[in-house]
């Protein structure tokens, strides 16, 4: 399962948001075998615009991720920082491609 998360973050809270996101990503990748990658980038000219590439082993792994204490902490802790959230379902062009 692969998707993009497109966010716009309140500029005043950007550094706090990035710290919370870093903690959540590092914990998820370390503790959850079904989380294959979470890779976040911000736009060079619009640093409050953040996109996260999420790759899960399958939808079961994704649903399990949503129930973890670290994800719930992140979601609740950042809800007032997020001005916009768009979840984009994707279809891999090269489905068997491995992340190095």
Helices 69-78, 14-31: axis angle to 10 degrees equals 170
The percent of residues above 90 in pLDDT, for the chain, comes to: 92
The pLDDT tens digits of the residues spanning 38-82 come to: 999 999 999 999 999 999 999 999 999 999 999 999 999 999 999
pLDDT at 44: 97
pTM for this prediction: 0.93
> 28: burial class by Cβ within 10 Å (0-12, 13-18, 19+)?
buried
CATH number assigned to the domain covering 2-89:
3.30.70.100
Closest CA to 37 of 2, 72, 5, 8: 2
Contact 24, 7 (CB under 8 A): no
> 33: burial class by Cβ within 10 Å (0-12, 13-18, 19+)?
exposed
């Amino acid at each position: 399962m692969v998707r993009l998360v497109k966010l716009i973050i309140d500029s005043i809270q950007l550094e706090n948001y990035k710290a919370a996101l870093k903690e959540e990503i590092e914990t998820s990748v370390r503790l959850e075998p079904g989380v294959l990658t979470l890779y976040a980038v911000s736009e060079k000219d619009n640093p409050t615009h953040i996109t996260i590439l999420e790759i899960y082993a399958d939808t079961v792994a994704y649903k399990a991720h949503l129930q973890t204490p670290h994800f719930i902490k992140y979601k609740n802790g950042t809800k007032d920082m997020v001005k916009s959230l768009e979840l984009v379902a994707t279809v891999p062009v090269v489905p068997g491609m491995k992340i190095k």
